[in-house]
Amino acid sequence: MVSHAQANQQTLVKLLVVACAMFGFGFAMVPFYRVLCDALGLNSVLKPDLPPVNTQVDTGRFLTIEFDANLRSNLPWTFTPVEKSVRIHPGALTQVTFEVRNRSDRRVTGQAIPSFGPQLAGRYFKKLDCFCFTQQTLAPGEARRMPVVFVVEPGLPQDVNTVTLSYTFFEVEGKAGKDS
């Protein structure tokens, strides 16, 4: 029986090691996922896009680009697009402005996340400059006008005539909010 107990202990230790390794594996999926997404060019909405190679403006076609601005529930800001929508040609470099104001009496840092409707338009929507590429920190009461510079590639499927660019500002907690 003693040898039995010893063999059991050994198996126990081995299996515990496997369990701990798998706990680590769960966390290892995080950097692995990042690397994979970067390598495959997925999920790059927060980085400037390369200007499109074919910058020919398709003057024969009009697109309506609508702008939408949202705040995640507890962020004490106001956030609005200056232009509600613009009518442009595919391939034309366009600049629009968003306004944001901190309504609270503390410093708050926020990060905007863009999304597109229809979703597939995102692939043809090239942002060359955007306030979403960096976090925005606003002092109490501070207001800011922020540009977005973009080109919609002429390759956008013909049946898409309206694209909505929607931003949601999230508070980045534990940053400016706490140290002031």
Interface with other proteins by CB under 8 A: which residues?
A: 4-5, 7-9, 11-12, 15-16, 18-20, 22-27, 29-30, 33, 37, 40, 42-43, 46, 72, 110-111, 113, 119, 170-174
- Structural element, H or E, at residue 56: none
CB of 82 to other proteins, least distance (A): 23
- The least distance separating other proteins from the CB of residue 72, rounded to whole angstroms, comes to 8
**Min. distance of Cβ 164 from other proteins in angstroms?**
17
Contact present, 143 and 75 (Cβ < 8 Å): no
Closer to other proteins by CB, 85 or 114: give it. 114
Shortest Å, Cβ 131 to other proteins? 13
In the complex with other proteins, which residue's Cβ is closer, 70 or 85?
70
On whether the CB atoms of residues 68 and 37 are closer than 8 A, the answer is: no
3-state helix, strand, coil in the chain (%, to 5): 30, 35, 35
**CA nearest to 171, candidates 124, 83, 106:** 106
Q: Give the contacts of 34 (CB within 8 A, at least 6 positions apart).
A: none
Name 148's bridge partners: 96, 130
Name which of 88 and 138 has its Cβ closer to other proteins.
Answer: 138
User: For other proteins, which is the closer residue by CB, 55 or 72?
Assistant: 72
